[in-house]
Structure 1
Amino acid sequence: MATTTSDADFRDFHPEISVSQSPSHDGLEFWQFMIAGSIAGSVEHMAMFPVDTLKTRMQAIGPSSCPSSSLTLRQSLGSILKLEGPAVLYRGIAAMGLGAGPAHAVYFSVYEYSKKFLSTENRNNSAAHAVSGVCATVVSDAVITPMDMVKQRLQLKSSPYKGLGDCVRRVLVEEGIGAFYKSYRTTVVMNAPFTAVHFATYEAAKRGLMEVSPESASEDETLVVHATAGAVAGALAAAVTTPLDVVKTQLQCQGVCGCDRFSSSSIGDVVRSIVQKDGYGGLMRGWIPRMLFHAPAAAICWSTYEAAKTFFQELNAKNRPFE
């Protein structure tokens, strides 16, 4: 999950640290900021990978082509565990492991550079933050989309690929390098409203939770508030953007394991095809596991990110004992 964070958000966690003390947030060096984001993104995706596998299976093939895809989340999980074993829930995790870290590092670095360039003297320029977030999303999605495509193909039932390397090689030979980016436009279009809904909801939920919390809340309690707000925001944003996520999955898995193949990468063409075959309900396939993925994923990402920042802050403090 690509996530932007404003100066105010960081000061909420550590009000004693002024942004003006460092060109990066919370007094961290630039490379430390990148590493913290990379770790948070990797942990988030690795921890929730089994739920992501369920979502991919439910979205890839519609009930008109495969009746078993209309099973409930519990039935789908039970079927996979019984017929294929628990290990299959983690098939493709290597692809996500290779993509999530670099993508999040690129995201945070592009966001920082863009914000510094666009904000000029006003570091609280909301418009600059928004544009920087879009720039970061466009670039980071270009990094993660190929590995996300490989990951989803490996997650499919009876996937014809032996593993990460075999999938990459066969796609290059049989479909060409363009196949890795057929869903790129959809991914960017999906992540724009996802980010907007996520942060609007996050800020509202955070304010609401802080109003019922004591003013003297401890740091641990504040972290719980942010994690809870993040979970609510992640769940809502996931539900709202599920149709685009279904389109993305269909484009990335087309022609594999019975999935439909499309003549173009047009979002409109794919939407019309899904509606024609499965009705408008087909656009919401996998919305429950998608919400179950993004809600805890957002909480995990925030918690991990803050833990990494705290580690680097303590490290920097030890290295600057006389400042």
Structure 2
Amino acid sequence: MAEEPDYEALDPNAGFAVNMLAGALAGISEHAVMYPVDSIKTRMQVFSSSPSAVYSGIGNAFKRISATEGMRALWKGVGSVALGAGPAHAIHFGTLEAVKDLAGGNEAGNQYLATSLAGASATIAADAFMNPFDVIKQRMQLHKSEFRSVFQCARMIYRNEGFSAFYISYPTTLAISIPFNAVQFSVYEHIKRFLNPTGEYSPGTHIAAGAIAGAVAGAVTTPLDVAKTMLQTRGSATDPEIRNVRGISDAMRIIWKREGLKGFGRGLTPRVLTIMPSTALCWLSYEFFKAAIRSD
């Protein structure tokens, strides 16, 4: 029987195509598993004047949505993620590994600057591709959303609000994603090395390091995520002030005026709960597919 490859001994520079394919498979796996919780997070972050669209917690939201709209409502918009997540994660991980290598992140020791730069660069590229898909996803996740398909939603947003509607939240997305991924990637690398200093094959290490890194990054960036949700769903709002919100500073001003600090914590629990297993699965899948593809 052929000897199994030494997983951690694989050359970290697996090649751009391998990294992109591994990232695509990891991204689809990540988003599909936790999509219903992400739907609840979106609804909890939306400022609505309708009592039926206000949720006090994850349990309350899950119970009310399943009772009044059915379980299928929690999966509305998942097609947008399926279309965008694979290519976006392929771009993310391909850029991540390329920049990490160029910046010296694969050298011995803790390369803090190189790993942070790699995470930030990967985010700029991936979010440019994914932002329109995220706008479509959140519009379909809303309470009583009138959209029945990804393509119908995209057409109506473009017709009613123009192309800029798909990118009005892009600066905010970057304001979230650059620190999120820089923190996540750095924390992941350092925890992985701490938990597994020998570099032996250890899927548990990838799961634990990914979950902790995602939780830390997700909690820190939740206030900006609330502002992003307001920007991405403004076209479906009935509140004139929210419908006319123009950017991140405008959104944060409205949040502060209406709810103060409490408003910036909207959706914190489902966001962290979504991110922890998602990032754990994402890193586990990425490391697995990367090794599997290279061993073929």
Q: Distance in 2 between matches of 1:88 and 1:117?
A: 44
- The match for 2:232 is 252
- The match for 2:290 is 309
DSSP 3-state at the match of 2:116: helix
- The match for 2:70 is 85
1:205-241 per-residue CA deviation (whole Å, 9 max, x = no partner) reads 4455448xxx6x973xx21122112112211211111
Q: Could you tell me how far 1:182 is from its partner in structure 2? A: 0.6
- The match for 1:228 is 208
- The match for 1:58 is 44
- The match for 1:262 is 244
Residues 27, 89 of structure 2: 8 Å contact kept: yes
Aligned AA (1:284): G
Q: Could you tell me how far 1:72 is from its partner in structure 2? A: 1.5
User: Which consecutive unaligned segments of at least 5 residues does structure 2 have?
Assistant: 1-5
DSSP 3-state at the match of 1:279: helix
Structure 2 residue 10 is matched with structure 1 residue 17? yes
Superposition map of 1:105-254 within 5 A: 105-119=90-104, 126-203=112-189, 205-206=191-192, 209-210=195-196, 219=201, 222-254=202-234
Q: CA RMSD in A?
A: 2.6
Q: Distance in 2 between matches of 1:300 and 1:313?
A: 20
- Equivalent residues, number: 288
Change (3 A) 1:86 1:284: same
Q: Distance in 1 between matches of 2:106 and 2:218?
A: 35
DSSP 3-state at the match of 1:311: helix
Residues 182, 252 of structure 1: 8 Å contact kept: yes
Aligned AA (2:181): T
Superposition map of 1:64-83 within 5 A: 66=51, 68-83=53-68
Q: Distance in 1 between matches of 2:72 and 2:213?
A: 30
Range 111-120 or range 170-179, more displaced: 111-120
DSSP 3-state at the match of 1:178: helix
Q: Could you tell me how far 1:302 is from its partner in structure 2? A: 1.6
Range 202-211 or range 242-251, more displaced: 202-211
Q: Distance in 1 between matches of 2:258 and 2:141?
A: 23
DSSP 3-state at the match of 2:9: coil
Change (3 A) 1:261 1:234: same
Aligned AA (2:134): D
1:41 pairs, out of 27, 30, 55, with: 27
Q: Distance in 2 between matches of 1:254 and 1:199?
A: 31
DSSP 3-state at the match of 2:246: coil
Q: Could you tell me how far 1:112 is from its partner in structure 2? A: 3.9
Q: What TM-score does the superposition give when structure 1 sets the normalisation length? A: 0.81
Q: Could you tell me how far 1:143 is from its partner in structure 2? A: 0.3
Q: Could you tell me how far 1:61 is from its partner in structure 2? A: 2.1
Q: Distance in 2 between matches of 1:204 and 1:128?
A: 13
DSSP 3-state at the match of 1:255: helix
Aligned AA (1:201): V
Aligned AA (1:109): G
Q: Distance in 1 between matches of 2:194 and 2:104?
A: 29
Residues 58, 69 of structure 1: 8 Å contact kept: yes
Q: Distance in 2 between matches of 1:17 and 1:218?
A: 11
1:163-207 per-residue CA deviation (whole Å, 9 max, x = no partner) reads 211111111111100000010000001112212332343345445
Residues 160, 257 of structure 1: 8 Å contact kept: no
Q: Could you tell me how far 1:268 is from its partner in structure 2? A: 1.8
Q: What is the identity percentage for the equivalent residue pairs of Structure 1 and Structure 2?
A: 38
Q: Distance in 2 between matches of 1:118 and 1:218?
A: 25
Q: What TM-score does the superposition give when structure 2 sets the normalisation length? A: 0.88
Superposition map of 1:277-316 within 5 A: 277-315=258-296
Residues 53, 143 of structure 2: 8 Å contact kept: no
Whichever of the two has the greater Rg, that structure is 1
Aligned AA (1:16): A
Residues 99, 144 of structure 1: 8 Å contact kept: yes
Aligned AA (2:281): I
Q: Distance in 2 between matches of 1:141 and 1:48?
A: 19
Q: Distance in 1 between matches of 2:105 and 2:69?
A: 55
